[in-house]
Chain A
Amino acid sequence: MALFPLTSNFEGDFVLQLVAVDTDNTMDEVAAAAAIHSVGRRVRARPGHILRVRQQGATEFLPRDLKVADAGLKPTETVEIIWQAA
């Protein structure tokens, strides 16, 4: 395990933000870490939704239990955190 910086582009928010995660974190944990800096600050929570992670420009989400270390992300790469109806 090691600290791993990512850039969060959170759906509905206005700015990219630095998010520090761990290489052992899953994509669900990445989404939760990103949400801390957007939801309740500038973005309203959406009941009945979960948050998914995808690389910028991708149409497919990364699997929810995929670990950061196995996702092929570069340090500081931008990931989009997207609301998905549960």
Chain B
Amino acid sequence: MAVLNRMDWYDLARTTNWTPKYVTEDELFPPMLSGEFGLPLSAWEKYDEPYKQTYPEYVKVQREKDAGAYSVKAALERSRIFENADPGWKSVMKAHYGAIARGEYAAASAEARMMRFSKAPGMRNMATLGCMDEIRHGQMQLYFPHEHVSKDRQMDWAFKAYDTNEWAMIAARHFFDDIMMTRDAISVSIMLTFSFETGFTNMQFLGLAADAAEAGDHTFANLISSIQTDESRHAQIGGPALKVLIENGHKAEAQKRVDIAVWGAWKLFSVLTGPIMDYYTPLAHRKQSFKEFMEEWIVAQFERALTDMGLDLPWYWDIFLKDISQTHHGMHLGSYFWRPTLWWNPAAGVTPDERTWLEEKYPGWNDTWGQCWDVFIDNVVDGNMAMTYPETLPYVCNMCQLPILGTPGKGWNVKDYPLEYNGRLYHFGSEVDRWVFEQDPERYAGHLSIVDRFLAGMIQPMNLEGALAYMNLAPGEMGDDAHNYAWAEVYRALRETRKAG
């Protein structure tokens, strides 16, 4: 008997809506979980997924992907790539695994919400596969780092980070809780898959795969390329949902969800990906600056995705375009200066050669961030290490949970964006972060930032030791300079020459 072509039966087979007789439609699909857009089942049946895959096809392809990634790992296990890697590269791996691995499991539950509660049969099918994708990503990104745990305690943060109160994890959780753990199925499809995955994970995974290959870490390069092939499929879940919403007069709600998610994703990338690309990656291996990468992936490609969909650019686009050449420099300086609070060892990335590159990519760097680094470098050269560490907390934003910062030195433009709500004074890092809060204050008002917790006496004793214990950073885990300040030698030599001259 001849087997039918997939396209001869796919649409019919996944048309799994029916008219409930024993319960109401709202009981079967509670609006809180299915989306409060007032659209009936029939409207969602027009959802047309661009990527049609059946379960047997999925299993076959995924099996091959797993076999590929795991066999590369097995083949290279004795290659000592990890032991011989540049310390900056190890930091990239640690930051990535800690911030991402357990988030993949969280994403699996978000996919599961679309799988069960979306009224669109096509979305339910795609999300079924998407949910299994995310379980795979969680498992791989916990299994792959595990071989390094015995060599380096910080690698344990691949598993541990998500359960801690480390500040960057509070920021990551706040964002992911907002866009995927506490939203209805349709909002998840817009905020997680369309906004975050189409816009940003492409960049994290493709950019890192290229960096990993450059660094000679083929295990990691294969792992994340393998993951990215899943992402680029299930990232397409949100597009058709946006189309349904827009066709049914809900553009404004759709747009707002995109605007909120894109901003949060940007802030998270400015602290995780920005420093990696422009500071941790050895100069010889840098392909593009973070700004150039953002311009290619977000400004050019995502902008087109938005307008093709019939959406507008987010209202804050001009602010965003300005910030992509500034924010991540501050995020790097901040995370580096407060380095004991990281689970990886940040690379400074400020040798004279690297500064020449920074100045070329970001004209004015030396007169702004460079001025702060000059003071820092003098302290290292003088052996005045106490002054290279902080003695207080940076003030963090009540939305993105990241330090409130701006451009220093000659371009000084640092500013707080405060808001009083129900008698409490909130602080935000930008007009956009404050706008997000104002869209739904009750949703966010109860959250305590790390600074709020400190002021409430939840962190004891009230000093750096207490803060590190609160963040679950054990000795041997807290971060310090990736190269043990060896990079400062060139400045010491420069000073000697100047003295001699």
Contacts and interface: CB of A to CB of B under 8 A. Distances in A.
A85 interface: no
Interface in A30-59: 36-37, 40-44, 56
A36 B408 contact: no
Nearest to B454: A18
Contacts of B454: 18
B394 A17 contact: yes
Contacts of B425: 74-77
Contacts of A43: 371-372, 375, 408
Given A12-B412, A14-B408, A15-B414, A76 B455 contact: yes
Interface in B438-485: 451, 454-455
B455 A5 contact: yes
A37 B409 CA distance: 16
What interface size band does chain A fall in? 20 to 34
Contacts of A44: 371, 374-375
Interface string B367-392: 00101101110010000000110111
A73 B188 CA distance: 41
Contacts of A37: 390-392
B214 interface: no
A23 interface: no
B458 to A, nearest CB: 14
B419 to A, nearest CB: 12
Contact of A13 (B391, B414, B416, B418): B414
Interface in A58-75: 74-75
A78 B408 contact: no
A29 to B, nearest CB: 16
Considering residues A5, A18, A40, which has the most beta carbons from chain B within 10 angstroms of its beta carbon? A18
Contact of A16 (B371, B375, B416): B416
Nearest to A41: B387
Contacts of A11: 412
A81 B376 CA distance: 20
Interface of B: 330, 333-334, 337, 369, 371-372, 374-376, 379, 387-388, 390-395, 403-409, 412, 414-416, 418, 425, 427, 451, 454-455
13 contacts: A14-B333, A14-B334, A15-B330, A15-B405, A16-B394, A18-B394, A20-B392, A37-B390, A37-B392, A40-B375, A41-B388, A76-B451, A77-B418
Given A42-B408, A43-B372, 12 more contacts: A9-B416, A15-B405, A16-B414, A16-B416, A18-B393, A18-B455, A37-B390, A56-B416, A76-B425, A77-B425, A78-B395, A78-B427
Give me the 10 closest cross-chain CB pairs, A-B, nearest first: A14-B408, A16-B395, A42-B372, A78-B416, A15-B405, A16-B404, A18-B393, A15-B394, A7-B395, A14-B330
Interface of A: 5, 7, 9, 11-20, 36-37, 40-44, 56, 74-78
